[in-house]
Amino acid sequence: MTTSTPLYRRLAGSAALVAVLGATGAALAPATPALAVPAGGYGDLVEAVSPAVVFIEVTAKAQPAHMSGQLPEGLPEELRRQFEKMMPKDGQMPKRQGLGSGFLISEDGRIVTNNHVVDGAETVTVKLADGREFDARVVGSDPLTDVAVLQLDTDEKMPFVRFGESDEMRAGDEVIAVGNPFGLGGTVTSGIVSALSRDINSGPYDDYIQTDAAINRGNSGGPLFNNKGEVIGMNTAIFSPDGGSVGIGFAVPSDLVQRIVADLSDDGKITRGWLGVQIKPMPEDIANVLGYDAPRGAVVEMVTPDSPAAKAGLTEGDIILSFNETEIADLRDLTRAVAATDPEAVVPVTVLHKGEEKVIDVTVGTRAEQSA
């Protein structure tokens, strides 16, 4: 099962591609240099958290075949036989198989993993570190943040880990990844936070933690721990020219994961705020005229009729400087701030309108459901 297909396609034009960490089967890449082990090592931490890290096996729906039923003329007989073996029966390709990782967040068997790990799943099997296996169902998933929630089919009490606060992490802080790379369950790697708030152009809410802890295909959905054993991220993607780890991996911050998990656990769906504007960055010349050291805010290009923005009086050319007390340094800041706001909430928005700064109140709407 090639669970990396959706993101892979969006980013395949990069000089070195970013791939989600889904399927197994690639050749092992050279090991990434590890962070020097602290005094005493990570043994106690790993022993404490590993029981809650799970390995996920998925059988996904077969996809319609796109192979033509006619083979080219003049093929050698042996090659023709090989092609005929590959031809799908009844217009369907075989069901896809895939592996990934995840982690338990409650004793009743609630699991967090990546959306791309379980996308299209017909069956989901979860294996714990102690060898126990359980069936699981998908409670809900969000393609736009690549977060999914599963529920084990069991009444047994499960081990679980707790979330830490990702916004307290700094570049240089130690991190530990645990997961199922290439189907090699129970793999532990260590490293540091390389950078924060990375945008890898995978979706509108990109805000990744970058790490040099070695993560590979199959690590998808696995936890990234701080040195207290708290989950501060969920491993999701790597930057790589060949699909193997080169020491540049990305994790969804735990603060975002927790919000999405809470929303999905309610009814299996995500509810996001909506403003109703098209925006663009502030041009350098406008920033200079306004006396700013650098461009800031989001310039309104268009206001959707009858939208929350229109009702609040926003117009084309306005510059949104802050939304609900969140400073808008670039476009992503506004996109994330609006999405994280509850619909029907009334929030203050600071706007530069015809050279005059003013604050207006906006009643946030509900964003229509969209795929990635």
**Residue 66 designated active-site:** no
**Set 4, 116, 141, 142: catalytic member:** 116
Question: Which position among 4, 166, 220, 322 bears the catalytic label?
Answer: 220
How many other CB atoms are found less than 10 A from the CB of residue 271? 13
> End-to-end alpha-carbon separation of the chain, Å?
19
Burial of 81 (0-12, 13-18, 19+ CB in 10 A): exposed
Q: Give the phi and the psi of residue 166 in degrees, each rounded to 5.
A: -70, -25
Residue 160 · residue 104 · CB < 8 Å: yes
- Using DSSP, state whether 91 is helix, strand or coil: coil
List beta partners, residue 147. Answer: 142
**Of 162, 146, 105, 153, which Cα lies nearest the Cα of 126?**
153
Residue 128 C-alpha from the chain's centroid: 23
* One-letter amino acid of 141: S
Q: Is 285 a catalytic residue?
A: no
User: 116 an active-site residue?
Assistant: yes
- Residue type for 128, please? L
Cα separation of 230 and 226, whole Å? Answer: 6
Say how many residues make up the chain: 372
Q: Which of 158, 180, 143, 141 is nearest to 105 (CA)?
A: 158
Report d(CA 53, CA 101) in Å as an integer.
Answer: 7
Selected catalytic residue, list 119, 146, 263, 318: 146
C-alpha–C-alpha distance, residues 196 and 251, integer Å: 10
The pair of three-digit structure tokens given for residue 20, joined into one six-digit string: 């989600």
Q: Which residue type, as a one-letter code, is found at position 231? A: V
Write out the catalytic residue numbers.
116, 146, 220
